[in-house]
A and B are shown apart, each in its own frame.
Chain A
Amino acid sequence: MFDFLESGQYDVLGAFWVTVQLTFYSAIGSLIWGTVLAAMRVSPVPLMRTFGTVYVHVVRNTPLTVIVMAASLGLFQTLGITLTGSDDFEVIGFRLAVLSLIAYHATFVCEALRSGINTVPVGQAEAARALGLNFSQVLSLIVLPQAFRAVVTPLANVLIALTKNTTVAAAIGVAEAALLMKEMIETESDAIFLVSAMFAFGFVVLTLPTGMLLGWVSKRVAVKR
């Protein structure tokens, strides 16, 4: 039944490893860029607030596939931005995919953080300012640390969504799990059920433990009020 696996023709684990790497780099990037966006949206500078708002609204409302295509057709093909010195399409595709995933998921991180900021009692910020802290100090020392603790669960959900959304990178030829699945469907047309069940299982293995682990973390760090 699994003869197509024994032939050694398909590197399923290798494909999932690429998925894991995509997820890892994109998660870190989204967290950073999302935090910056959230800071922009609550900042005293009107320009930054406008930029943050417009960015979030436009990017969130665009299908991820379109963003990935924009990176590949626009940035790479037309503008020649490759994010790497090499000409290797695999490296270029991977980095562009990470960039698009960051651009897209940062908006969700930003919105989660913003609602996290809303959970911090006003008194905290007032007290901080009474001590003479300026905006960036209030945000980085007082508000954000508490906000993060409140939004571990939403962030975990963004991470799970991100893991699954890496499949979209197949549109620009990143050799991750979904791309291998398409190949196997094309050539193993008599085992479609088995192939898709196998990949579904792979994603369950990746996402379920993440969800559980971060669910536990969220209970540990929750601010008791």
Chain B
Amino acid sequence: MTLRKAGLAAATALVLSLTATACGGGGSDSGSGSDKINIGIKFDQPGLGLKTQDGEYTGFDVDVAKYVAKELGYDEKDIVWKQAPSAERENMIANGDVKFIVATYTINDERKKRVDFAGPYLLAHQDLLVRADDNTVRSEEDLNDSKMKLCSVTGSTSAQNVKKDFAPKANLINYGGYSECLTGLENKAVDALTTDDSILAGYAAQKEHQGKFKLAGLSLSDEPYGIGLKKGDTELQKQINDALKKMVEDGSWEKAAKKHFGPADYKYEAAPEITETS
């Protein structure tokens, strides 16, 4: 074996990786300029925060965020949308990656140790999504039955509620996302998908799902959605609270709720009182 060959051999591994790099360009968009505002939302939640095929963002959370941003003095085109996965929300706020987060973010004490909230802007309840022709579930008691096949998302609060609180006997399967549960519901492998009714309504309202699924209408828990912001930023908290109040008063809130939840026949709660003040 000559040294030249050896060099060739050593180079191959490198070349392999280089060719891969060549195709891996692009990606990071321009950072936040001084007049831009970064807002964290969900990208995969129909009806609340969804990145559509055209790369646009729609949903109730998105509309609330837009309204608040407008009240804070930002134009809609200055908004930079950031994906805020559940496990990342506190990190993103604490790091200042985003100004605030509107992403089905339930206010609770554990989270308040690391972030502050404004709002709430929506009061959701844990509920069930069932097939449109299924009338077996009428009350909370029906759930606690080993024949009840429930589906939820791994690690979510709803899944933990089912196990610990109201239906420890139910047959519960957890998936990584809601779509897998919907496939199961369609296939009749599960009887109900359980999570916040606002999220369920978003799915039920999609055009592919209309007429297939319905909400059972049980209020199994209270989930006040807040806008997460940096701990101790009382100035911003007050501004956002004012913006939310105004949004309710001028009817924009009702309009947004009707637009995103209406098609699902979801009887959303009226806009909640602001509780998170300092």
Contacts and interface: CB of A to CB of B under 8 A. Distances in A.
Note whether A and B contact each other (Cβ less than 8 A): yes
Contacts of B155: 179, 182-183, 185-186
A3 interface: no
Given A77-B189, A182-B155, A190 B113 contact: yes
A152 B90 CA distance: 45
B241 to A, nearest CB: 23
B157 interface: yes
A78 B174 CA distance: 17
Interface string A173-203: 1000001001101111110000000000000
B114 A190 contact: yes
A88 interface: yes
Contacts of A89: 149, 171-173
Nearest to A189: B90
A19 to B, nearest CB: 15
Interface string B100-140: 00000000001101100000000000000000000000000
A77 B114 contact: no
Given A187-B110, A187-B160, A189-B114, A77 B176 contact: no
Interface size class of A (residues with CB under 8 A): 20 to 34
A178 to B, nearest CB: 9
Interface string A81-97: 00000011100110000
B176 to A, nearest CB: 5
A66 B128 CA distance: 27
Contact of B110 (A93, A179, A188): A188
A73 B156 contact: no
Given A89-B149, A190-B114, A185 B171 contact: no
For chain A, what secondary structure do more than half of its interface residues adopt (helix, strand, loop), or is it mixed?
helix
B17 interface: no
A172 interface: yes
Interface stretch (B66-74, B179-187, B243-251): B179-187
A146 interface: no
B175 A172 contact: yes
Interface residues of B, number: 27
B196 to A, nearest CB: 14
A187 to B, nearest CB: 6
B86 interface: yes
Contacts of B157: 186-187
Contacts, number: 68
B180 to A, nearest CB: 6
B87 interface: yes
Contact of A73 (B172, B174, B183): B183
B149 A173 contact: no
A187 B111 CA distance: 8
A69 B180 contact: yes
Contact of B111 (A87, A183, A189): A189
Contacts of B110: 187-190
A93 B176 CA distance: 13
Contacts of B160: 183, 186-187
Question: Which of B154, B157, B176 has the largest number of chain A CB atoms within 10 A?
Answer: B154
Contacts of A93: 173
A73 B90 contact: no
Contact of A77 (B111, B156, B183): B183
Contacts of A88: 146, 171
A41 B189 CA distance: 37
A-B pairs with lowest CB-CB distance, top 5? A173-B174, A182-B155, A89-B173, A77-B189, A77-B187
Interface of A: 69, 72-73, 76-78, 80, 87-89, 92-93, 170-173, 179, 182-183, 185-190
Interface of B: 86-87, 90, 110-111, 113-114, 146-147, 149, 154-157, 159-160, 171-176, 180, 183-184, 187, 189
30 contacts: A72-B180, A73-B180, A77-B183, A87-B147, A88-B146, A89-B149, A89-B172, A89-B173, A93-B173, A170-B154, A171-B175, A171-B176, A172-B174, A173-B173, A173-B175, A179-B154, A182-B154, A183-B154, A183-B159, A183-B160, A185-B87, A186-B86, A186-B155, A186-B156, A186-B157, A187-B110, A187-B157, A189-B90, A189-B110, A189-B113
